[in-house]
């Protein structure tokens, strides 16, 4: 009987998701990170596609996080699983399970199918043994273990194993067959039949001497048809020049035969028998196939074609976890910190759907790629909740604003994908989607101009997003004059507060950050909203970048004064 397909990514196949755009994955740097996980483009694309599907259901995130923890901590298990499932994948790709039952299928096909089924059963056995021997705790792997047990029971593998042991001949030991040829008075072949299937090869001997030795002496002519197991024979080649007499030629080349009504005796067609020996023996042996063997063949097609497909569907899912586990383990060995995300349970999630507590986080790109900041990774903390909904992030140019903005987006992508996050701790309520409003490429703004393109894109994002979304804005509306940009940015922030989505808006418009209280008050007068906007800065140590963020008023004027002093561009320093 068939059963519901099992997945290690989705505990409930009916769960709803939104797919992140390629632009968002690129803005967060996730497309480049995924390329580091595998050298194979197909695997890179699969991993990125999984990461791009955002499931807001906390149960999906918890399911994945627990599975990944098992995979990361059980190196032997993940190595064994990949070896087993690669064997199953090979059977599916190159075996005969994907071919429908053919009544005319020959005995050799059946023997190979029995071998393949035996290998498949061994794979299922090995998979069950692997899971049973591993210290697994996740619902996903415990469910997989039960799923494998059901596959074994539902398909009658125990009975099939018994049938195979009784019916299957190991093809690796099949070396030759013995065929009996009846002759008429003129030494013409009168019929042919299978005598035995052997585990030894026949060895060469002289054809004339061998034949003469058997007919010259009465003692050498058998009085019955019982084979005495002599493995001497002479192979024939239809392409070779022959000097054998016509009667003997007819014997050895098995010319046209008269069909007799004897069991296991078949008529051979005219033509090149040397090229078609296998086909002829197929016809002979198939007469000997029992009804029981035919029934088993039907069983193979009925069950294995279904279960082997379901099992191989698990391979890319396991590969997703394994590739991430191998890469993160390598980064951990280099000294980088990673942690399992903690997702709100459903009851807690209803009390604060905007909650996020991130501790000691950093941008994964700093660990993956060599950059100016890689040698000095500064971990940061950040919170979202019902009150703290929007951050206006300001700071010095090249001070790390974009880096921390990307990092927050990466946290949600990784955590909702079940993968450990770069940092010490991350507790969060899942988002329904992530939207990025980063500067567009020059060639994409020719028709509308930069500001027009930015406005159109922001409106599309705003209409698609909901209160459970995450919005990341990078220097939005800064391609026009300050007055125009500030006007649009201020209205955009108020609209974001109205919708309630968690947002980081990094900008050089320090006045926007100075005016957060004013925007909050205006929004409260227009309508009561729980969420408020806050100013966040990338803190400076004198004139040096610290890459450390904190909730505080912008440093625009004081920082500019320090920079002017450092480079001698104050009025007094210029005119003295």
In a domain, 444, yes or no: yes
Instruction: Give pLDDT, residue 44.
Output: 95
Question: With contact defined as beta carbons under 8 Å apart, do 259 and 265 qualify?
Answer: yes
Q: Tell me: the pLDDT tens digits for 305-315?
A: 545 666 777 88
3-state class (DSSP) for residue 482: helix
Instruction: Give pLDDT, residue 561.
Output: 63
Question: With contact defined as beta carbons under 8 Å apart, do 393 and 404 qualify?
Answer: yes
Question: Are residues 429 and 514 both part of a single domain?
Answer: yes
Distance CA 361, CA 252 (A): 82
Question: With contact defined as beta carbons under 8 Å apart, do 397 and 461 qualify?
Answer: no
Question: Are residues 278 and 389 both part of a single domain?
Answer: no
Question: With contact defined as beta carbons under 8 Å apart, do 314 and 6 qualify?
Answer: yes
Residue that wins the pLDDT comparison between 423 and 235: 423
Residue 284 domain boundaries: 172-290
Instruction: Give pLDDT, residue 520.
Output: 92
**262 pLDDT higher than 50:** no
Q: What's the domain count of the chain?
A: 3
In a domain, 258, yes or no: yes
Helix (H) or strand (E) holding 192: strand 189-198
In a domain, 12, yes or no: no
Going by C-alpha positions, the residue among 339, 336, 331 that lies closest to residue 358 is: 339
Residue 323 tokens, joined: 């590739």
Residue 109 tokens, joined: 């096909």
Instruction: Give pLDDT, residue 310.
Output: 64
Question: Are residues 277 and 359 both part of a single domain?
Answer: no
Q: For residue 465, how many other CB atoms are within 10 A of its CB?
A: 21
Convert 361-393 into a string of H (helix), E (strand) and C (coil): ECCHHHHHCCCCCHHHCCCEEEEECCCEEEEEE
Question: Are residues 445 and 530 both part of a single domain?
Answer: yes
Torsion of CA 365, 368, 372, 373, to 10 degrees: 60
DSSP string, 212-248: HHHHHSGGGS-SSS------EE----TTS-----HHH
Distance CA 455, CA 477 (A): 8
Angle between helices 157-167 and 139-154 (to 10 degrees): 50
DSSP string, 531-570: -EEEEEEEEEETTEEEEEEEE----HHHHHHHHHHHHT-S
Q: In terms of C-beta density within 10 A (0-12 exposed, 13-18 middle, 19 or more buried), how is residue 340 classed?
A: middle
Average pLDDT value for residue range 93-118 = 62
In a domain, 5, yes or no: no
The mean pLDDT value of the chain amounts to 78
Angle between helices 139-154 and 107-133 (to 10 degrees): 150
Between the two ends of the chain, the Cα-to-Cα distance in Å is 93
**276 pLDDT higher than 70:** no
Question: With contact defined as beta carbons under 8 Å apart, do 469 and 432 qualify?
Answer: yes
Instruction: Give pLDDT, residue 29.
Output: 95
In a domain, 47, yes or no: no
Going by C-alpha positions, the residue among 501, 499, 508, 525 that lies closest to residue 392 is: 508
Residue that wins the pLDDT comparison between 336 and 440: 336
Question: With contact defined as beta carbons under 8 Å apart, do 369 and 33 qualify?
Answer: no
Question: Are residues 66 and 105 both part of a single domain?
Answer: yes
Distance CA 513, CA 416 (A): 31
Question: Are residues 342 and 398 both part of a single domain?
Answer: yes
Across 260-274, 345-359, 455-469, the highest mean pLDDT is recorded for 455-469
Lowest mean pLDDT among 70-84, 363-377, 425-439: 363-377
Distance CA 263, CA 245 (A): 31
Question: Are residues 157 and 76 both part of a single domain?
Answer: yes
Residue that wins the pLDDT comparison between 387 and 564: 387
Question: With contact defined as beta carbons under 8 Å apart, do 456 and 448 qualify?
Answer: yes
Place of tokens 């008050």: 521
Longest Cα separation, the chain: 133
Q: Tell me: the pLDDT tens digits for 475-487?
A: 998 877 788 889 9
Banded model confidence at residue 118, pLDDT cuts 50, 70, 90: confident
CA distance readout (Å), 486 to 470, 475, 490: 22, 11, 6
Pairing of strands 203-204, 380-384: unpaired
Question: Are residues 484 and 525 both part of a single domain?
Answer: yes
Instruction: Give pLDDT, residue 240.
Output: 44
Which CATH number fits the domain that encloses residue 528? 3.40.50.300
Q: Tell me: the pLDDT tens digits for 192-246?
A: 666 777 778 877 555 555 555 555 555 555 666 666 666 555 444 434 444 333 3
Own/partner contacts of 333-336, CB < 8 Å, gap of 24 or more, are 334/367, 336/367, 336/422
Question: With contact defined as beta carbons under 8 Å apart, do 468 and 451 qualify?
Answer: no
Distance CA 118, CA 348 (A): 49
In a domain, 4, yes or no: no
The pTM for the full model equals 0.75
CA distance readout (Å), 327 to 320, 321, 374, 404, 430: 11, 10, 17, 22, 24
Question: Are residues 302 and 195 both part of a single domain?
Answer: no
Question: Are residues 233 and 358 both part of a single domain?
Answer: no
Distance CA 307, CA 152 (A): 10
In a domain, 264, yes or no: yes
Percent of the chain with pLDDT over 70: 66
Going by C-alpha positions, the residue among 64, 78, 68 that lies closest to residue 9 is: 64
Going by C-alpha positions, the residue among 379, 342, 375, 341 that lies closest to residue 360 is: 379
**68 pLDDT higher than 70:** yes
Question: Are residues 267 and 303 both part of a single domain?
Answer: no
Banded model confidence at residue 292, pLDDT cuts 50, 70, 90: very low
Average pLDDT value for residue range 527-533 = 85
Going by C-alpha positions, the residue among 296, 318, 301, 299 that lies closest to residue 89 is: 318
3-state class (DSSP) for residue 176: strand
In a domain, 458, yes or no: yes
Question: Are residues 153 and 178 both part of a single domain?
Answer: no
Instruction: Give pLDDT, residue 502.
Output: 97
Residue that wins the pLDDT comparison between 19 and 200: 19
Instruction: Give pLDDT, residue 141.
Output: 94
CA distance readout (Å), 179 to 12, 187, 232, 444, 562: 59, 16, 13, 77, 101
């Amino acid at each position: 009987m068939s059963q519901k397909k099992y997945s290690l990514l989705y505990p409930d196949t009916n769960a709803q998701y939104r797919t992140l755009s390629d632009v968002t994955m690129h803005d967060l740097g996730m497309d480049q990170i995924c390329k580091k996980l595998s050298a194979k483009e197909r695997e890179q694309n699969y991993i990125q596609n999984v990461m791009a599907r955002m499931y807001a259901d906390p149960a999906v995130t918890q399911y994945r996080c627990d599975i990944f923890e098992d995979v990361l901590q059980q190196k032997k298990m993940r190595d064994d699983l990949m070896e087993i499932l690669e064997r199953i994948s090979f059977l599916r790709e190159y075996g005969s399970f994907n071919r429908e039952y053919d009544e005319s299928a020959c005995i050799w096909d059946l023997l190979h199918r029995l071998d393949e089924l035996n290998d498949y059963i061994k794979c299922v056995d090995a998979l069950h043994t692997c899971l049973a021997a591993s210290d697994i705790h996740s619902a996903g792997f415990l469910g997989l273990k039960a799923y494998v047990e059901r596959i074994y029971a539902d398909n009658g593998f125990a009975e099939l194993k018994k049938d195979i042991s009784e019916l299957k001949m190991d093809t690796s030991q099949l070396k030759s067959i013995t065929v009996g040829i009846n002759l008429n008075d003129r030494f013409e072949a009168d019929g042919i039949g299978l005598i035995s299937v052997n585990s030894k090869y026949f060895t060469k001997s002289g054809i004339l001497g061998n034949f003469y030795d058997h007919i010259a002496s009465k003692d050498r002519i058998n009085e019955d048809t019982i084979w005495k197991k002599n493995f001497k024979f002479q192979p024939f080649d239809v392409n070779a020049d022959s000097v054998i007499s016509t009667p003997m030629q007819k014997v050895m080349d098995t010319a046209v035969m008269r069909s007799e009504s004897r069991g296991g005796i078949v008529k051979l067609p005219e033509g090149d028998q040397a090229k078609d020996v296998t086909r002829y023996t197929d016809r002979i042996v198939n007469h000997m196939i029992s009804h029981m063997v035919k029934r088993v063949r039907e069983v193979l097609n009925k069950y294995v074609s279904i279960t082997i497909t379901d099992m191989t569907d698990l391979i890319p899912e396991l590969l997703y976890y394994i590739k991430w586990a191998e890469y993160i383990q390598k980064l951990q060995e280099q000294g980088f910190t990673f942690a399992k995300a903690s997702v709100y349970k459903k009851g807690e999630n209803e009390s604060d759907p905007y909650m996020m507590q991130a501790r000691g986080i950093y941008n994964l790109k700093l660990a993956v790629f060599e950059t100016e900041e890689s040698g000095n990774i500064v971990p940061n903390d950040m919170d979202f909740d019902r009150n703290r909904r929007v951050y206006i992030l300001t700071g010095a140019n090249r001070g790390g604003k974009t880096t921390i903005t990307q990092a927050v987006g990466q946290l949600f992508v990784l955590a909702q994908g079940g993968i450990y996050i770069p940092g010490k701790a991350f507790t969060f309520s899942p988002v329904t989607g992530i939207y990025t409003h980063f500067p567009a490429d020059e060639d994409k703004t020719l028709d509308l101009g930069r500001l027009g393109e930015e406005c159109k894109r922001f409106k599309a994002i705003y209409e698609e997003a909901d209160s459970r979304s995450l919005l990341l804005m990078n220097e939005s509306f800064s391609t026009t004059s300050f007055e125009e940009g500030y006007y649009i940015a201020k209205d955009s922030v108020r609209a974001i507060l109205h919708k309630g989505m968690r947002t980081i808006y990094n900008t050089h418009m320090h006045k926007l950050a100075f005016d957060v209280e004013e925007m909050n008050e205006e929004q409260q007068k227009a309508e009561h909203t729980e969420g408020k906007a806050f100013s966040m800065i990338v803190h400076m140590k004198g004139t040096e970048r610290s890459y450390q963020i904190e909730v505080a008023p912008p440093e625009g004027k004081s920082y500019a004064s320090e920079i002017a002093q450092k480079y001698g561009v104050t009025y007094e320093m210029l005119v003295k």
